Amino acid sequence: DIQMTQSPSSLSASVGDRVTITCRASQAIDIYLAWFQYKPGKAPKSLISATSTLQSGVPSRFSGSGSGTDFTLTISSLQPEDFAIYYCQHYKNYPITFGQGTRLEIK
């Protein structure tokens, strides 16, 4: 199975800050990497697919990059609604696996 390692596990930041979350795969996954946002009590929201493709309706302050084994999610200017848990996920093969998550909190 491909292991997905996210860092940091938690992050405190302020509105307007630029933040970057990293995700490393235990083997090459080409560009088959997605990011989603989760707020407990709400449906998870898909943000990015294929490493860097923004899903419809997702603000342009979100961006993704990387290839092979190393990937990043960047939020260019944090907004109050962005404080949530972020997960990466590969879909290169079965089983699909996820990172442990990054909890983004207000400083």
Partner 1 sequence: EVQLVESGGGLVQPGGSLRLSCAAFGFTASDHYMDWVRLAPGKGPEWVGRTRDKPNGYSTEYAASVRGRFTISRDDSKNSLYLQMNSLKTEDTAMYFCARVSRSGAYFDFWGLGTLVTVSS
Mapping DSSP to helix (H, G, I), strand (E, B) and coil, where does residue 58 land? coil
Is 96 a binding residue for partner 1 by CB under 8 A? The answer is yes
CB of 33 to partner 1, least distance (A): 9
Count of beta carbons in the 10 Å neighbourhood of residue 15: 12
**Region of 16 on the Ramachandran plot (φ > 0 left; ψ -120 to 50 alpha; else beta):** left
Binder to partner 1 among 45, 54, 69, 74 (CB under 8 A)?
Answer: 45
Is 100 a binding residue for partner 1 by CB under 8 A? The answer is yes
Strand pairing report for 102-106 and 97-98: unpaired
Site string for partner 1, 51-70 (x = CB under 8 A): ----x---------------
Give residues 17-36 in contact with partner 1 (rule: CB under 8 A).
32, 34, 36
Count of beta carbons in the 10 Å neighbourhood of residue 43: 8
Binding region for partner 1 (CB under 8 A):
32, 34, 36, 38, 41-46, 49-50, 55, 87, 89, 91, 94-101
